[in-house]
Amino acid sequence: ETIPFIANQLNSNVDIWINIPYGATDDYVLNVTQLMLNQINPTINIYVEFSNELWNFIFAQATANLKAANDSVLNQSDPLRLAYDNSTNYWYGAFRRIASQIKRIFDLFKIVCGQENVGPWKRIGPILAGQCVNPTIIIQGLDYLNKVYGLPSTFLHGIAITPYFDLSQYKTWSNLTTDQVIEGFNSSIQTFLPERGWSQQAPVGVHVVYAAWYGLAVHGYEGG
């Protein structure tokens, strides 16, 4: 209830980003959808992410997702087809499960808001989020969606990562000069540029290329 209240008070149009909690039931998601549809200014776009940082084991939801993926494959006959290619890599299963859940959320939002309002470049944009330095999360998620459900661009708006920059070669130094701070930041930011291509040293480029391959936008859900 707080999100529509705050967003509607702003004088200029803004977009909002909501995170559906890890354990949310279908009814919970449907109720959130109805709330947003009924209360938020219709000119405001809504980006939707399933949980947050499901790769980050500082948070309980990452462990829960990994366990749920393994249980689904090993004990429940793999109803989500997380091992569609007979993969036994449990990390891949966890990454694919993230993608399966944003597809589930897309389907639920569509029930309330209609196909015309949910999807790529529409008012409600489902987002598959990953980790900037580990493109495998997004690669596995998008390839899974493509194989199991069809083109990701039919239901996802885009992907999201965290393009943080740092002091690069100077990040462990002390007593830096102003020039060294600027040089360090610049070196780090350079890794984001398309000219750097896509490699382990240029992970943003990997995400951009893979998103482009599937016709998806690229967003930053955090940065700094």
Q: What pLDDT is attached to residue 203?
A: 80
Place of tokens 């930041």: 185
Flag whether 171 is in a domain.
no
Q: Please, how many CA atoms are within 13 Å of residue 218, restricted to the half-sphere of its CB? A: 21
Does 26 score more than 70 pLDDT? yes
Reported as a pLDDT band with limits 50, 70 and 90, residue 95 is: very high
Flag whether 179 is in a domain.
no
SS (H, E, C) 10-76: CCCCCCEEEEECCCCCHHHHHHHHHHHHHHCCCCCCEEEEECCCCCCCCCHHHHHHHHHHHHHHHHC
Does 53 score more than 90 pLDDT? yes
Flag whether 190 is in a domain.
no
The whole domain housing 210 covers 2-166+200-220
Determine contact, residues 125/119, Cβ cutoff 8 Å. Answer: yes
Q: What is the pLDDT of residues 74-85, one digit of tens each?
A: 999 999 999 999
Flag whether 108 is in a domain.
yes
Flag whether 147 is in a domain.
yes
Does 167 score more than 90 pLDDT? no
Closest CA to 125 of 137, 133, 117: 117
Number of structural domains the chain divides into: 1
Does 21 score more than 80 pLDDT? yes
Beta-carbon count within 10 A of 192 CB: 15
The answer, as to whether pTM is greater than 0.85, is: yes
Q: By percentage, how much of the chain surpasses pLDDT 90? A: 72
Flag whether 173 is in a domain.
no
Q: What pLDDT is attached to residue 16?
A: 93
Flag whether 187 is in a domain.
no
Q: What pLDDT is attached to residue 201?
A: 64
Q: What is the pLDDT of residues 132-146, one digit of tens each?
A: 889 999 999 999 999
Q: What pLDDT is attached to residue 164?
A: 81
